[in-house]
Structure 1
């Protein structure tokens, strides 16, 4: 009889311990599933850049064309190594920034041409990609600083009188519309 009680007590103890462990595993799984994605915009430019350089992206959160682009509202690519092959240049905006306009600065060093293959913009679980010449439907060049060959999806920096380069393209209203769709 004592043996039966001992076996019963042992069985109940093991059952209770086993249930507690299952609850802990379920709690951990729930915690992993519930982690929200960071609210950051990531811009991935796939391009062929043949010479070493640094790119920069400026952003504005208003739709006022008169608001200047400022250094504090920009992100640098970091050093880009020139390469004959296409490479991804990634810009991650600060958390809780919702850009309505951006300006791409395609380096400050001499480049014969830069081939734009695509621009992918990610936000949370959404993304949009502009491929090849489609990129130029969303960006307007500053022709004092850059020439564009839309057919071949290339930009050619223009050397300034002082020998510097600052090729830049500005987003347009179609870009602003796409940003609104992503942020919804």
Structure 2
């Protein structure tokens, strides 16, 4: 485990994404014209593989570590709730700032599978990380995040030049309580 605040590191600190980061050719990570058109028409894009199985396993392991309220770097969280649910029968782990604590969550910000897609969706512009948020809800026992529109929270840019990226570390299905959304009409 790193002993410093990873917010001080403006570069990858591990080799979790080394294979991808070392590639000069971003071609394998580019979205298709059809995917970009879908995003601009409907306002969302699904089924983009950001992490491979090994990377997901690393992030799950790191999540297990940082979910412990006695984690030695707990003071680096901007916000931490081991159960934000008001119902003791459900669980809703919620944190902000986990990118400061573990190499995997930190280095995910440099993963070209993430950065290239985000850049393309914003019109091939440079991107900047603004905010991280981690929700953990066990299947069939998870708490609820109320219906909301992320844009109302992120009105920092006019015209809109920002994205919300939801990345699951588990399969999300209707049966286990996946993310739901309302399709806007073009």
TM range (shorter): under 0.3
Higher-strand-fraction structure: 1
The TM-score, its normalising length taken from structure 1, stands at: 0.27
Compare relative contact order (CA 8 Å, sep 6+) and give the higher one, 1 or 2: 2
The TM-score, its normalising length taken from structure 2, stands at: 0.27
Structure with higher Rg: it is 1
